[in-house]
Amino acid sequence: MFHALADATRRDILLRTLEDQHNVSTLARRYPMSFAAVQKHVAVLEGAGLVIKQRKGREQLVRGNLDTMRKASRLLEQLEAVWQDRIDRIGDMLADEHQGGPNT
Q: For domain 2-64, give the fold.
A: Arc Repressor Mutant, subunit A (1.10.10)
Q: How far apart are CA 38 and CA 49, in angstroms?
A: 17
In Å, what is the CA distance from 32 to each residue of 27, 28, 36, 50, 85? Answer: 11, 8, 12, 22, 43
Side chain identity at residue 47, one-letter code: G
Give domain limits for the chain. Answer: 2-64, 66-104
**What does the pLDDT profile of the chain (104 residues) look like in tens digits?**
889 999 999 999 999 999 999 999 999 999 999 999 999 999 999 999 999 999 988 888 999 999 999 999 999 999 999 999 999 999 889 888 888 755 55
Q: How far apart are CA 45 and CA 57, in angstroms?
A: 22
Query: Which pLDDT value is given to residue 97?
Result: 83
